[in-house]
Chains A and B, each alone.
Chain A
């Protein structure tokens, strides 16, 4: 059986994990660290300790804002932002239902919107997100949504890309080739 760290190291984004020296610059830099049970340094330590389930069930990586400050500051080139994305990919692929974050639902609503329209339709994406998570929470957003709508910034209908069918076929082909 391969170790968890070597599993992570072959996922796009996880390649540089062996370089980490546990200095903690990433965690000290991260604007979302306060939200994370396992900030980046600790997360890497857990991966190297083989705590697969603890890591993948955690909400920590889903709080990553992709601000890339850790990536810029890491003295070893670990690219913790990419590592967070790699862990999100793995957790999502394996169907972990993560408590304490709605980011997976938001990301899925976003990608679904691309698959349906070829482009993201922001209003439709938000609607789907709230239906997926907590429809009542949409109520507190009505003021922001309404002011965007009144300022002509929230069209209710999506714009479709002519090549949407092409995009779908490309994705289909890519998936088939990847699984063969």
Chain B
């Protein structure tokens, strides 16, 4: 069993509940334990850093100080939390003046940060610690023949964390194929979905989502998979808005990678939060049932 300090992120309590449920559901079969960081606060995400970079580092530092006490790596499943926690951690390590100011403020709650936490994305943990080979060995219901568009989005691989190629990433492809599914070539796999600007700049973001859906469909994908809460909600919950705006008829399920892994591990769809996906994932479920029936009848 491997142990990690776990930072779920705010969306895990709401719009990305499917991500949270599936992370928890696949942990035990994959022999990892995600120990929720006690009393964590929001990482601040892009909005806080844009309005006040230095103060946003302090907001992150409270979490880093709490995590440092556990002595474990801090793992988050959210790409936006990841870029924020990782960036602030780097800045604190490189800027002793800021570290000192931050520690003066942390002291009011008897906290102190020394720069020792390693911030990691859950996908990186699945690829480097658990490994696709082990995941593959644990698969009970292979997703053979399922055509999946692996969608990385931005902040899982950029600016650059040294774990995957920012321009031509492959980590998700490896996870998808470890399940028996086919990772279709998806040219826009690391292009932006609009992120939180879907709220304030909707027309631009819908244009970007439209391009992604179109490219995924042209690639022959039956579904899209992503690790990122923002990417998932934009492609899933706003697919209907794209259809109205562009007069299209997209009906592409958008699953969290951990939901897809859970299905291959034969975990109940409801335990993976698949009932919270807005574009119905039934097509994916039917595919899997069909594959396992064929395997059962020896064809």
Contacts and interface: CB of A to CB of B under 8 A. Distances in A.
Interface of A: 11-13, 31-32, 34-35, 63, 65-69, 71-72, 79, 81, 84-86, 88-89, 92, 101-103, 105-108, 110-111, 113-114, 118-123, 126, 129, 133, 143-144, 147-148, 151-155, 159, 161-164, 166-167, 169-171, 173-175, 177-178
B159 A178 contact: no
Interface in B41-93: 41-42, 44-55, 58-59, 62, 83, 91
B200 A105 contact: yes
Contacts of A111: 44, 47-48, 51
B159 A72 contact: yes
Given A71-B159, A122-B10, A123-B14, A108 B200 contact: no
A101 B200 contact: yes
Interface stretch (B131-139, B171-179, B273-281): B273-281
B55 A67 contact: no
Contacts of B11: 120, 122
A173 to B, nearest CB: 4
Contacts of A126: 199
B204 A12 contact: no
Contact of B55 (A65, A154, A175): A175
B155 interface: yes
A34 B91 CA distance: 32
Interface string B1-30: 000000000110111111000000000000
Nearest to A120: B10
B108 A106 contact: no
A38 to B, nearest CB: 16
Interface of B: 10-11, 13-18, 39-42, 44-55, 58-59, 62, 83, 91, 101-102, 104-106, 108-109, 111, 154-155, 158-160, 166-167, 191-192, 194-197, 199-201, 204, 208, 233, 237-238, 240-241, 275-278
A143 B240 contact: yes
A161 B66 CA distance: 13
Contacts of A103: 197, 200-201
A144 B244 CA distance: 12
A162 to B, nearest CB: 5
Contact of B154 (A68, A119, A164, A177): A68
A114 B15 contact: no
A118 to B, nearest CB: 5
B273 to A, nearest CB: 8
Contacts of B83: 66, 68
